[in-house]
């Protein structure tokens, strides 16, 4: 499963999301939205954003129960 974590520096929710994803054995590609004007416009107020296999699954916070369900279903 390919996981992308859209984040920005200084975002404590992004740090929490990364810890949670790693706890489940995932190694997300980390993308800083502030390095890309299009991503900054798209995700500015809702980081962290987690995409799994190209589909956005979480915005703002990662729901651990839903994450578990997605991993079992994959």
Structure tokens at 4: 């992308």
Query: What per-residue confidence (pLDDT) applies to 74?
Result: 82
Query: What per-residue confidence (pLDDT) applies to 10?
Result: 94
| Digitized pLDDT (tens) for each residue of the chain, 74 residues in all | 899 999 999 999 999 999 999 999 999 999 999 999 999 999 999 999 999 999 999 999 999 999 999 999 98
Query: What per-residue confidence (pLDDT) applies to 28?
Result: 98
Query: What per-residue confidence (pLDDT) applies to 27?
Result: 97
Query: What domains, with CATH codes, occur in the chain?
Result: 3-73 (3.40.30.10)
Say if CB 30 and CB 5 are below 8 A apart.
yes
Cis geometry, peptide bond prior to residue 71 (ω within 30 degrees of 0): no
| pTM for the predicted model, two decimal places | 0.94
């Amino acid at each position: 499963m390919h996981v992308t974590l859209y984040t920005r520096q200084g975002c404590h929710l992004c740090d929490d999301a990364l810890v949670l994803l790693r706890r489940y054995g995932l190694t997300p590609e980390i993308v800083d939205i502030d390095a890309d004007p299009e991503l900054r416009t798209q995700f500015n107020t809702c980081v962290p954003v987690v995409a799994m296999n190209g589909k956005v699954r979480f915005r703002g916070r990662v729901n651990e129960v839903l994450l578990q369900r997605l991993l079992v279903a994959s």
